[in-house]
A and B are shown apart, each in its own frame.
Chain A
Amino acid sequence: MKNNILLEVRNLHISFSTYAGTVQAVRGVDFSLNVGETLAIVGESGCGKTVTVKSIVRLLPQDVAKIHGDNVGITLDGEDLLSLEEVEMSRVRGKRIAMIFQDPMTSLNPTMKIGDQIGEVLLIHKNVSKKEARLQALELLQMVNIPNAEQRIDQYPFEFSGGMLQRVMIATAIACDPEILIADEPTTALDVTIQAQIIELIKNLQRERDMGVILVTHDLGVVASMADRIHVMYAGQIVERGTADEIFYSPKHPYTLALLKSVPKLTEDKQEPLYSLIGTPPDLINPPHGCSFAPRCEFAMKICRIAEPSPTLFGGYHESCCWLHHPKANKSGVPEILLREVV
């Protein structure tokens, strides 16, 4: 498995300078992505998941966002992306690592034809003529199932629906056969029925091309069908990580459990109100002492407000950062699922 590592993120810290003060948006994130694997990063809005993936291709505004940390590194195939010159970095973007965004309606240039926008990425990275780029753009449009591609290619974004635009974004992203596709909340802005189609499309393309996919979302439902491994993020830190099965069937962090409980299930008893987590994520200008989830955690202990918990390993890849796993922890009333030791 180790030899397969395509992308590695080490001890990533990102802070933003704002008028109100320095926001510590990401506070020590580590993960790696293997070839052809789908990795999901899940968390509430504002937890730093989008910032984390944007920093991989260095899309954060350089004047306000600072990437730091001891021995911090983002390496693609052994090459440190953080030390690349801007020009070298632009050769990685779109070619080796492609990205699609949350809102397809605003992510496409309103005054540029669809075909030109897809063709642009080919013109930049592949030594092709404009004619060739157009032909390939047409193929790509057909590949992502846009009907009437011949006519659609000369239309402008405002003539497309949101779902169609997201398909266009995907076509643009896969144009250069990237090794990694980063999908930042790709379905959030779309209708529920369209969401499934888009996820299905990404899944199929990923299988066909053996791409690594990083899927960022707040919706565990989206993740269930396609992620190999899941990272749960809270307040700029990864609080739990594991395979999809481990996270869904054996969560070890109270926050993960809360996220799972707040997903509506068709089978659930209709009398019971849907679980909802109280409060909002903490202010990251002054992050709380200790565990950042403690203020919202019903099982919080004194220690949780004093010291940050360190990761506890549950075998394989499954890890959770929570004081409940300490031998002396007060376990009364804590759901059995959180405590069950997995071997």
Chain B
Amino acid sequence: MVSRESFVNLSDEVFERVGVDPEFSEHLDKPSLTYWADVWRRFKQNKLAIFGLVLMVSILVMIFVGPLISGKNYKYMDSSVKNLRPNSEYWFGTDDMGRDIFTRVCYGGRISILIGFLCTIVMFVIGSTLGALAGLKGGWVDNLIMRFAEVIGNLPYLIIVVILTMVMGRSIFAIVLAMSITSWVGTCRMVRGQILQLKELDYIEAATALGADTARVIFKHLLPNALGIIMVDITMSIPGFIFGEAFLSYVGLGVRPPETSWGALASAGQQQLMFHPHVLFFPCLMIVLTTLAFHLVGDGLAEALDPKLRK
């Protein structure tokens, strides 16, 4: 600190009145980015999340473009090239029937990821519709839906899946239905909670009092608010469903030949584990990498949306 004495001989000029700094009051708010630009900026700073995003895109490109480049058919069997190790002709090797594993992994991936997406969409549509209905209508509608959700939520997921696939046959449709039928409860509760929270807000009450359509007002405010949570929910759900299908297929309850999926490929590879481990290795690797990619992106997104999580 500067001592007072050294300023005794200050010129009069420095004591000129300047008053409140006009710039100060104008610049109280720092230049603020829009919400989504800010989220994106934080997401970009997260190297792991970016790695996950790159990985996710690479996997998608591989499973869709891969078979075109390899030029092989996933069903074509060539008994002269059984159980080959990975080489320049067969990048991931061949299986016990002489099929190209790379091409099969690409096709299987399409099914696995398709199932993941479909289940998530069904889960989301059912969950948010029922959740919105319960939250908006309230009263007996709310009560009925929430009791129903409670019952469904209490159902043992695995058993439902097994029974449904058993009864409906092991089609992709049956698997999707079976896996998403028990999964929407969480989404339903989340959406209902968000709506109830919004309903409490003064400005929504005011708008309703003035005769505005409550549902419309709420959706206008709900969507931007809930979009973040929903996006994280979706990113985290997809790998869960891919996993679920893989487990089912692995024990022989999933998709049926000639259709295939990563789980089904792994299941087939399991029988040859001891002598041809590569048959099992590649589909497993793809499951792991895909799950990893979605998890990293989901975590990154959650952190970007809620900086408090970043620790």
Q: Which residues of A contact B (CB under 8 A)?
A: 28, 278-280, 294-310, 312, 323, 326-330, 332
Complex CA–CA separation, A326 to B12 (angstroms):
11
**Interface residues of B, count at CB 8 A:** 20
Complex CA–CA separation, A339 to B217 (angstroms):
57
Please give me the 9 A-B residue pairs with the lowest Cβ-Cβ distance, nearest first: A295-B24, A295-B21, A303-B14, A310-B4, A302-B14, A330-B17, A301-B15, A330-B15, A328-B15
Known: A308-B1, A310-B3. A300 touches B25 (CB 8 A): no
B4 adjacent to A328 (CB under 8 Å): no
Is the CB of B202 closer than 8 A to any CB of chain A? no
Look across to chain B and name the residue whose beta carbon is closest to the beta carbon of A334: B17
User: Which residues of chain B come closer than 8 Å to A329, judged between CB atoms?
Assistant: 15
User: Which residues of chain A come closer than 8 Å to B18, judged between CB atoms?
Assistant: 300-302, 304-305
Complex CA–CA separation, A327 to B15 (angstroms):
10
B135 to chain A, nearest CB (A): 26
Complex CA–CA separation, A330 to B3 (angstroms):
20
Complex CA–CA separation, A279 to B29 (angstroms):
10
Look across to chain B and name the residue whose beta carbon is closest to the beta carbon of A296: B20
12 other A-B residue contacts (CB within 8 Å) besides A326-B7, A330-B17: A301-B14, A302-B13, A303-B15, A305-B18, A305-B21, A306-B14, A307-B2, A307-B7, A310-B2, A310-B4, A323-B15, A330-B15
A300 adjacent to B21 (CB under 8 Å): yes
B14 adjacent to A278 (CB under 8 Å): no
A265 to chain B, nearest CB (A): 25
Complex CA–CA separation, A171 to B124 (angstroms):
51
Look across to chain A and name the residue whose beta carbon is closest to the beta carbon of B307: A19
A298 adjacent to B20 (CB under 8 Å): yes
Can you list 6 A-B contacts (CB < 8 A)? A279-B25, A295-B20, A296-B24, A298-B20, A299-B19, A301-B15
B4 adjacent to A312 (CB under 8 Å): yes
Known: A279-B25, A308-B1. A301 touches B20 (CB 8 A): no
B2 adjacent to A308 (CB under 8 Å): yes
Is the CB of B69 closer than 8 A to any CB of chain A? no
B47 to chain A, nearest CB (A): 15
Encode contact with A along B1-38: 1 for CB under 8 Å, 0 otherwise: 11110011010111111111100110010000000000
Known: A28-B1, A279-B25, A308-B2. A301 touches B17 (CB 8 A): yes
A324 to chain B, nearest CB (A): 10
B20 adjacent to A300 (CB under 8 Å): yes
Complex CA–CA separation, A324 to B53 (angstroms):
60
Q: Which residues of B contact A (CB under 8 A)?
A: 1-4, 7-8, 10, 12-21, 24-25, 28
Known: A307-B2, A310-B2, A312-B4. A328 touches B10 (CB 8 A): yes
Complex CA–CA separation, A306 to B4 (angstroms):
14
**Interface residue from B1, B10, B20 paired with A310 (Cβ < 8 Å):** B1
User: Which residues of chain A come closer than 8 Å to B3, judged between CB atoms?
Assistant: 310
Look across to chain B and name the residue whose beta carbon is closest to the beta carbon of A279: B25
User: Which residues of chain A come closer than 8 Å to B24, judged between CB atoms?
Assistant: 279, 295-296
B17 to chain A, nearest CB (A): 5
B78 to chain A, nearest CB (A): 58
User: Which residues of chain B come closer than 8 Å to A295, judged between CB atoms?
Assistant: 20-21, 24
User: Which residues of chain A come closer than 8 Å to B25, judged between CB atoms?
Assistant: 278-279
User: Which residues of chain A come closer than 8 Å to B21, judged between CB atoms?
Assistant: 294-296, 300, 305
Complex CA–CA separation, A332 to B21 (angstroms):
18
Complex CA–CA separation, A237 to B62 (angstroms):
61
Known: A295-B24, A296-B24, A308-B1. A301 touches B16 (CB 8 A): yes
Look across to chain B and name the residue whose beta carbon is closest to the beta carbon of A28: B1
Known: A278-B25, A310-B3. A297 touches B14 (CB 8 A): no
Complex CA–CA separation, A337 to B273 (angstroms):
91
Look across to chain A and name the residue whose beta carbon is closest to the beta carbon of B11: A328
User: Which residues of chain A come closer than 8 Å to B13, judged between CB atoms?
Assistant: 302
A80 to chain B, nearest CB (A): 23
Complex CA–CA separation, A310 to B12 (angstroms):
18
User: Which residues of chain B come closer than 8 Å to A308, judged between CB atoms?
Assistant: 1-2
User: Which residues of chain A come closer than 8 Å to B20, judged between CB atoms?
Assistant: 278-279, 295-298, 300
Complex CA–CA separation, A241 to B10 (angstroms):
26
User: Which residues of chain B come closer than 8 Å to A327, judged between CB atoms?
Assistant: 8
User: Which residues of chain B come closer than 8 Å to A279, judged between CB atoms?
Assistant: 20, 24-25, 28
Complex CA–CA separation, A295 to B24 (angstroms):
6
Look across to chain A and name the residue whose beta carbon is closest to the beta carbon of B9: A328
Look across to chain A and name the residue whose beta carbon is closest to the beta carbon of B21: A295
B304 to chain A, nearest CB (A): 13
User: Which residues of chain A come closer than 8 Å to B17, judged between CB atoms?
Assistant: 299-301, 330, 332
Complex CA–CA separation, A307 to B17 (angstroms):
15
A180 to chain B, nearest CB (A): 28
A298 adjacent to B19 (CB under 8 Å): yes
A106 to chain B, nearest CB (A): 16
Complex CA–CA separation, A305 to B17 (angstroms):
11
A302 adjacent to B15 (CB under 8 Å): yes
Complex CA–CA separation, A323 to B15 (angstroms):
9
Complex CA–CA separation, A296 to B24 (angstroms):
8
Interface-centre pick from B3, B8, B16, B24 (highest chain A CB count, 10 A): B24
B16 adjacent to A302 (CB under 8 Å): yes
B19 adjacent to A326 (CB under 8 Å): no
A153 to chain B, nearest CB (A): 35
